[in-house]
Amino acid sequence: MLYQDLAEEAEQILRLNWRDGFTVPTNKLYPFQWNWDSGFTCLGHAYFEPKWAIRELNSLFSGQWENGMIPHIIFHSETETSYFPNHDFWNTTVNPGAQQKPKTSGITQPPVHGFILEKLLAKFPNDGAFLAFVKAIFPKVVHSHRFFYTYRDPKREGLAFLYHPWETGRDNSPLWDESNARIQIDKSTLPAYTRQDTKLADKKERPTSDQYDRFVYMLELGKRHQYDGEGIFEESPVLLQDTLTNAVLIQSNQSLIRIGERLGLDTGELKEWQAQSVKSFREKLWNENLATFTCYDLRKEAQIEYKEIGGLTALSAEIATKDQADKLNDYLNDLHNRGYYLCPSFDVDDPLFDSKRYWRGPIWPQMNWLIYEGLQHYGFSATAKIVKEDFLELITKQGFYEYFEAQKSVAAQLDKGYGGGQFSWTSACVLDLLHKDQ
């Protein structure tokens, strides 16, 4: 398949998944608007319907809560019932400041929108409608960051915690296994529920039923505390200072600071948050033995000692020192030399690596996009080229899927990717990478 054909197919998919105001991640499996998906999707809109990017972000922010939180799902339809958990299961009316029109979930996801906004602004620097949009949404994006610093950082470290694995965007990563194991599941009190995802995607590529019980347990815990109460920090067995989320928060802070300075908007609070976050991220999350940044388990007060994809986002957020960046680059080159596509989502040498199952090993398109950006920033253009070419090779051979096999020898036996097909952020990242010079 030629790159021109890839670009055309990517645009077709984004048009197919457009719902007159927002984009679904994929047609059947995820029938609503997802938080960080919609940010990446705007990268694609920018190439053929730039106004859609404005509508996409406005739709997402129409779900913002009074506390600033952008929920991880915006249920633009109240009658669509093909996804679990639906808006009624979340029952966000427990929080008086929760947005009810549209209905939403009660947790959040990685805050990519600040840096996406900067990417869009760079493409349309003199477009009046676009500048007006950026000025109008700027305080809302800042408020969404304020949510993390106010409600998710009780010790005022500059590092936000997450309590639901869905918030990390890497739902069933082995990173969370130890925290999840602390949850005591009592089937007699866990509400009855029916999964919909395994009717639409291969069971072996999705989280297990035991993991889903834990997702539901944590949802109920959040609900008991109105989704933003102090009791979450006191009670939750899962308290994660996630690399990916905090790196993305830092990256977006920096973008908002630059946007604010250019447009004459207030950046005082952002600068304070940023100084503290960068310092804490560097001091608390680097692990010299593993030569990577690690997540931190706030309940256990210890680093979560695994090599995985989140640590690499310190590159796109420009947090890594030159020496740390060299080590991350070596790690990727080693994987490449050993016959893996870049970048597997979990340590391929760990017994918990599972090349098929969701966030326990496969390649994820939006992560490749972030890592490509980071590698370019540090001048590792040869590795960035591998990341891009691996990704485009997978798409060409296997289609625009949600995630992909990481082992080249196994991938060679497959004619399609994993999870949902005709995926939005996959298409958007393809379009954007195709437009990069190298």
For 18, residues 6+ apart whose C-beta sits below 8 A from its C-beta are: 52
* Set 11, 153, 347, 402: catalytic member: 402
Residue closer to ligand 9WN, measured from CB, 158 or 421? 421
The neighbouring-strand residues paired with 287 are 292
By the 8 A CB rule, do 34 and 25 touch? Answer: yes
Report how far apart, in Å, the C-alpha atoms of 229 and of each of 17, 19, 162, 232, 273 are.
35, 34, 13, 6, 22
Residue closer to ligand 9WN, measured from CB, 130 or 400? 400
In angstroms, what is the minimal distance from the CB of 326 to ligand 9WN? Answer: 29
In angstroms, what is the minimal distance from the CB of 270 to ligand 9WN? Answer: 25
Residue closer to ligand 9WN, measured from CB, 158 or 361? 361
For 112, residues 6+ apart whose C-beta sits below 8 A from its C-beta are: 36, 39, 40, 248, 252
CB count, 10 Å around CB of 100?
Answer: 10
Q: Is 127 exposed, middle or buried (0-12, 13-18, 19+ CB in 10 A)?
A: middle
Report how far apart, in Å, the C-alpha atoms of 65 and of each of 31, 105, 143, 214 are.
21, 11, 10, 25
In angstroms, what is the minimal distance from the CB of 147 to ligand 9WN? Answer: 18
Task: Find the Cα–Cα–Cα–Cα dihedral 391, 396, 399, 404, rounded to 10°.
Answer: -30
Residue closer to ligand 9WN, measured from CB, 72 or 87? 72
Q: How many separate helices (H) and strands (E) can be counted in the chain?
A: 18, 8
Report how far apart, in Å, the C-alpha atoms of 300 and of each of 156, 179, 295 are.
18, 9, 12
**398 closest CA partner among 424, 384, 419:** 419
In angstroms, what is the minimal distance from the CB of 34 to ligand 9WN? Answer: 4
By the 8 A CB rule, do 146 and 256 touch? Answer: no
Catalytic residue at 66? Answer: no
Residue closer to ligand 9WN, measured from CB, 99 or 366? 366
In angstroms, what is the minimal distance from the CB of 198 to ligand 9WN? Answer: 11
In angstroms, what is the minimal distance from the CB of 421 to ligand 9WN? Answer: 12
**245 closest CA partner among 317, 156, 188:** 317
Residue closer to ligand 9WN, measured from CB, 124 or 193? 193
Catalytic residue at 402? Answer: yes
In angstroms, what is the minimal distance from the CB of 169 to ligand 9WN? Answer: 4
* Set 37, 56, 157, 171: catalytic member: 171
| Angle, CA of 413, 339 and 403, to the nearest 5° | 60
Residue closer to ligand 9WN, measured from CB, 42 or 278? 42
Give the residue at shortest CB distance from ligand 9WN.
25
In angstroms, what is the minimal distance from the CB of 160 to ligand 9WN? Answer: 17
Residue closer to ligand 9WN, measured from CB, 212 or 378? 212
The neighbouring-strand residues paired with 74 are 33, 104
**342 closest CA partner among 320, 372, 310:** 372
Sheet containing 103-104: order of strands: 33-34, 73-75, 103-104
Chain residues in the site for ligand 9WN (CB under 6 A): 25, 30, 34, 36-37, 72, 166, 169, 171, 197
The dihedral sign for the CA sequence 21, 24, 30, 33: negative
User: What amino acid positions are annotated as catalytic residues?
Assistant: 171, 402
